[in-house]
Structure 1
Amino acid sequence: MKKSLIALSLGGLTIGITEFVMMGLLPDIASNMKVSIPVAGYLISAYALGVVIGAPLLVIIGRNFPPKKMLLILALMLTVFNALSIIAPTYNFLFASRFLSGLPHGAFFGVGAVVASRLADKGKEAQAIAIMFSGLTLANLIGVPIGTYIGHHFIWRYTFVLIAIVGSLTLLFLYLWMPNLEKTGDVNMRTQLKFFQQIDAWLIIGITAIGFGGLFAWISYIAPLLTNVSKFSPEDVSYILVLAGLGMVVGNFAGGKLADKFSAAPTTLALLFVLSVDLILVYLFSFNQYVSLILTFLTGAISFSVIAPIQMLMIKTAKDAEMIASASLQGSFNIGNALGAFLGGLPLVAGYSYASPNLIGVGMSVIGMVITFILIQRRKKTIQLQSA
């Protein structure tokens, strides 16, 4: 494995812990900040909002920077803004720090995905992207459980010390291992922004923002789901999250192989269907501890298998605008994050059980399937017109 891809995966590890550890820390932060769990859930939405705003904005600002310089700047932002959460004196300060730490997320993955595809051997571009995203999955396998354990047994602020340390390592290894790739030339913003005039581009954004929201409706409230519905003790949550992380690792690499072997759009459609069925099972059977453990692994695997196919779908659609398109896709993932957390919280506010957000997730996955089907039909029609 190329060291440069390992450096990118370290960035994914930093981002992954930052994004997903909040789900496991919600009860601890809610208690410490004296707010309800649904209100603490808005910290997830704050991060996602930062990603949505920062992804296109930072790519536009740094569009003519060499890739290595851009990645180093983004990694520095990740480290510094996450460190602010260590000293957050109030809920509002923490909300702001979560927003700021989300700003570099989409741009890092957007630039990183294009760089990974340039570094990859021919025919293995999706697998190279999957290696970068493996940091995100390893975060859920190792980083998030450790961070959750620290938050439960010590102080949740120490978890952000861990994130700052990993972010510093990311900076170091990007500096040491990332080659000085040539920039692709001065980027014409008019050409870049023409990408958003394509209907297919907005369909892919919709698939991601809505369809992938099913994952976040589940994982945003996984800690109270496991403790209130499955009846695990709070101390067990950090260990159970290892199962989710292991599933994400498996699903991420499986998705990369599928995206290189099959057409990305039909693969995305099939995986969203499987995700919707899985979330129904989570809703119905989470009361059973043994089944809940199995479903925790499967949901992580199925949801993360969608990432590489959607990423390749976007890159292939965005000719001459790959970087801003890839960054915008990360913004779309986090619109799904915000929507899943917000919409998933509505039945909780209404007094329904902690299994109910999964039904919201089913609806979001099904809508994603419908949009994917529309995209496939549009492309078939385009091919027929070109061959006529």
Structure 2
Amino acid sequence: MKKSIIALACGAFAYGAAEFMMMGVLPQAARDMRVSIPSAGNFISAYAIGVCVGTLMLIFGRKAGPKKLIVMFMVIAFAGDLFSSLAPTATLLTIGRFISGLPHGAFFGTAALVAKTLAQPGKEAKTVSLSMTGQTVANMLGVPAATFIAEHFSWRFAFLILAGIAALTVVLVAAWIPHIAPVKDAGILGQFRFLTKLGPWFILIAVFTGNAGIFTWWSYVSPWLQKVGGYASGTVPLLMMLAGYAMVIGGLLGGHLTDHWRAAGTASLGQCFSVIGLVLVFFVPGNKLDTAVFTFIIAFALFFINTPQQLLMAEAGQGGGELIGGAAVQVAFNLGNAVGSAVGGGMLTISHMNYHFPALGGIPFALAATILLAVYSLRYETRTSAFERLQPVDV
């Protein structure tokens, strides 16, 4: 199991870095492609749109085993990252980012199922959070490293390294993940049967609004740290490392609390942190200390909510829709990213590039997510103890 989790974490690292490192290299990529910072936000949105479209692969891959699916997803990620590293124009870079994002949601939905299947009873959330640590470590080490490489060498080299990590993951998955039977074949429409219930929509809308709220500000975190915090561009990688450290802590604590309490309640608590952080970003004038603390708070909240939401949707899809349920979280997550990036760019434009205003645009979204998750928890969650959620296993 440990080797399987390492293989999944390596893949999560590749996707986590691909998704988030564009925020750290945005100024350099924009300058190289001769576009403005708000226009460069399309490089972020293109990845997010790819995630939404690519999840449809699971509909037609439902009969394949999870191991085969993960290998296929990593091959596509390799091709997209390599294409992005070589793209000569903004249009082609946008296409490369779209390709890279195609397997993202499908990967995390499948990886969550694999981790949940391999986990000991009562420790599902902890195991899923461990498999997802690659995504948080990507933010702690990968994104700062990419920002440093972009500052001192080229952002293209960062994407080339990312392609190499995707290739390495293919090897690790083939060697270390055991065969796991495909999910129950409920047919094409049967995979979506869980969406006829109201509960899953609470979660998906909360994921969408919550991430739209955070990414309205986070998409422009690198220039925000420089313009508001007064940090030199060469110092930004250290701030990205601080944010990544907060994500690691948030992800692990969120998984631990989910195993001992309510999943949606845990996610609602995390969204409260994001609302507080965004309010502070908008109202506090900002200096080096302030901006560092606010970055830590919001980054912590972003991944504190990740595992409970992923588990809620995987459980909602039981009976043939597990993969779609898990992937739907990533679709909502990245659709929120795309909308948030666009809203943040719009707030910058109407405020004449005042980097406090993207946070203002994100507050209503994050607040809506907090309320939706709280309502779901009060309405649907009755079993709060890990012991009560133990399932019998026949040997």
Same fold (TM over 0.5): yes
> How do 1:231-310 residues align onto structure 2 when only pairs under 5 Å count?
231-285=230-284, 287-310=286-309
Report deviation, 1:283: 2.4
Report deviation, 1:173: 0.6
SS of the aligned residue for 1:65 comes to coil
Change (3 A) 1:380 1:3: closer
CA contact (8 A) 1:147 1:162 kept: no
Q: Deviations over 1:266-319 (max 9, x none)?
A: 222222122101211122336211122122222211221011111122122222
Change (3 A) 1:181 1:166: same
Q: Which amino acid aligns with 1:135?
A: G
* Corresponding residue of 2:370: 369
* Corresponding residue of 1:33: 33
* Corresponding residue of 1:336: 336
- Are 2:69 and 1:70 aligned? yes
Q: Which amino acid aligns with 1:344?
A: G
CA contact (8 A) 1:25 1:148 kept: yes
* Corresponding residue of 1:10: 10
Is 189-198 or 221-230 further displaced after alignment? 189-198
- Are 2:141 and 1:142 aligned? yes
Show structure 2 runs of 5+ residues with no match.
383-395
For 1:294 and 1:240, how far apart are their aligned partners in 2? 10
- Are 2:346 and 1:346 aligned? yes
Is 117-126 or 295-304 further displaced after alignment? 295-304
Q: Which amino acid aligns with 1:66?
A: G
Is 37-46 or 191-200 further displaced after alignment? 191-200
Report deviation, 1:377: 5.0
For 1:187 and 1:174, how far apart are their aligned partners in 2? 26
- After TM superposition, the score normalised by the length of structure 2 is 0.93
SS of the aligned residue for 1:41 comes to helix
Report deviation, 1:352: 4.4
For 2:140 and 2:71, how far apart are their aligned partners in 1? 25
* Corresponding residue of 2:151: 152
For 1:266 and 1:131, how far apart are their aligned partners in 2? 20
CA contact (8 A) 2:62 2:182 kept: no
Runs of 4+ in structure 1 over 4 Å off: none
Q: Which amino acid aligns with 2:237?
A: S
* Corresponding residue of 2:387: none
Q: Deviations over 1:359-383 (max 9, x none)?
A: 22221110112322443454379xx
* Corresponding residue of 1:228: 227
Is 6-15 or 152-161 further displaced after alignment? 152-161
Report deviation, 1:132: 1.6
Q: Which amino acid aligns with 1:8?
A: L
- Are 2:181 and 1:182 aligned? yes
For 1:133 and 1:340, how far apart are their aligned partners in 2? 23
Show structure 1 runs of 5+ residues with no match.
382-388
Q: Which amino acid aligns with 1:96?
A: I
* Corresponding residue of 1:360: 361
* Corresponding residue of 2:126: 127
- After TM superposition, the score normalised by the length of structure 1 is 0.95
The number of equivalent residue pairs is 380
- By percentage of residues, which structure has more helix? 1
Change (3 A) 1:106 1:343: same
For 2:379 and 2:229, how far apart are their aligned partners in 1? 43
> How do 1:160-179 residues align onto structure 2 when only pairs under 5 Å count?
160-179=159-178
Change (3 A) 1:286 1:305: farther
- Are 2:23 and 1:19 aligned? no
CA contact (8 A) 2:199 2:376 kept: yes
Q: Which amino acid aligns with 1:340?
A: G
Report deviation, 1:348: 0.5
SS of the aligned residue for 2:193 comes to helix
For 1:274 and 1:287, how far apart are their aligned partners in 2? 18
* Corresponding residue of 2:322: 322
For 1:119 and 1:379, how far apart are their aligned partners in 2? 26
